[in-house]
Amino acid sequence: MASQEARSDPSVKDAPPPATAFRAVAAFALDGDLRFLSHHDEVRLLTRALVRARWPIAYTAGFNPRARIVLPLPRSVGMASECQLMIVWLREQRCPAELADSLAATLPRGAALQGVTTPVPRGMPHARSTSYEVRLELEDGKKLAARIQRLLACEQLCVERGFGPKRPKRRVDIRPYIEMLTTDGVELRMRQVFEAQRTARPSEIITELGLDADVYNSRVRRVAVEWDMELAGPTARPATPERNSFAHQEKGTRKDTDSIRP
C-alpha cells in the first residue's frame, strides 16, 4: 500500500553491501525538463554523473553488477524537487568537499547539488512528512479556497489507487495523511504525513480538489522533507556556483528546506 514516493530503489537488494563499504549522501534539486525523468532514468543519470566525477562507487555482485545507489523518496514523473536525497555506497572513504566539487561539475543542467555528507550512520532514512507547492491558474485560484474547506471537513477521503500493471485498483482513505492544505490564490500548498511509509499522493489531492491533473501534475514541486534520522557526518557544499538550478532562476535564492531530524 506504499505510494510510489515511499518506495526505495530495488537495485540495492541483490546482495548485502561489502563490510568495507562507506556511505555518502548527496542532497540535490531537480527541475526543468529533468522532472519528466522516470525514477530509473533518474538513477541512470546520477550513476553516469558519479562515474564521470570518479567517485569510488561500490557495485552489486553477480553477472550484471549495478551501482549501489538509493533514492529514499522517489519522485513521481513530472514532479520537481528541491530536496532530493541520494545514498551512495563507496569502496573507500573520501573527503566530502572533494566529492561535492567533483559531482557538482558533472551533473547536467536542471540538477543542482546542494551538499554531500559522509560518513553517515547505518540505517535507511524514511520520510515523516513532505511539503509541496503547486502554481495555480488565476481562475482556479479563485475557486480553490472553498474546495479546500470542503475537503478538510471530510472525515474520509477515499480514492481509487492503482498498484501496478495487472493488479486491481483499491480504495484508499487518504484523509489521515493530509496535514495541511492552503492557498493564497496563486499557489496551492500541501503537507502530507507518512504512516508506516504510506501517504497521500499529490496527484490524488489535485484530482479531489477538482483541478485538471493533466495540467497540474507537472507543476508540483516538493519543497521540504522531514526525515526520521540525522546525518551525523560532516557536510560539504560545492565550491562552484549552482549554475544548473532552475528553481533559483524562477523564485530567487531559496533557503535550503530539506531537513533530517532525529
Among residues of the chain, what percentage have pLDDT more than 90? 69
Residue 184 has pLDDT above 80, yes or no: yes
Residue 256 has pLDDT above 60, yes or no: no
Residues 6 or more apart in contact with residue 250 via CB below 8 angstroms: none
Where residue 241 falls among pLDDT bands split at 50, 70, 90? low
| pLDDT digit string, tens, across residues 58-95 | 999 888 899 999 999 999 999 999 999 999 999 999 99
Nearest to 31 by CA among 217, 241, 222, 212: 222
Residue 11 has pLDDT above 80, yes or no: no
Partners of residue 115 on adjacent β-strands: 27
Measured CA to CA, the distance from residue 139 to residue 256 in angstroms comes to 31
- Please check whether residue 223 is in contact with residue 83, taking contact to mean a CB–CB distance below 8 angstroms: yes
CA distances from 94 to 7, 28, 114 (A): 28, 19, 18
Amino acid found at 89: W
Nearest to 29 by CA among 108, 92, 95: 108
- Please check whether residue 28 is in contact with residue 86, taking contact to mean a CB–CB distance below 8 angstroms: yes
Measured CA to CA, the distance from residue 132 to residue 158 in angstroms comes to 21
Calculate mean pLDDT across residues 175-203: 96
pLDDT of residue 209: 96
Residue 1 has pLDDT above 60, yes or no: no
| pLDDT digit string, tens, across residues 113-142 | 999 999 888 889 999 999 999 999 999 999
Measured CA to CA, the distance from residue 63 to residue 163 in angstroms comes to 30
pLDDT of residue 239: 83
Nearest to 76 by CA among 28, 4, 146: 4
Measured CA to CA, the distance from residue 37 to residue 41 in angstroms comes to 6
Among residues of the chain, what percentage have pLDDT more than 70? 83
| pLDDT digit string, tens, across residues 55-66 | 999 999 888 899
Residue 12 has pLDDT above 80, yes or no: no
Residue given cell 535564492 in the structure block: 253
pLDDT of residue 234: 77
Least confident span in 7-11, 146-150, 160-164, 235-239: 7-11
- Please check whether residue 134 is in contact with residue 219, taking contact to mean a CB–CB distance below 8 angstroms: yes
Q: What is the mean pLDDT of the chain?
A: 85
Partners of residue 24 on adjacent β-strands: 88
Residue 181 has pLDDT above 80, yes or no: yes
pLDDT of residue 107: 97
- Please check whether residue 5 is in contact with residue 75, taking contact to mean a CB–CB distance below 8 angstroms: yes
Question: Hey, CA dihedral for 19, 21, 24, 25, is it positive or negative?
Answer: negative
Nearest to 198 by CA among 219, 175, 221: 175
pLDDT of residue 242: 52
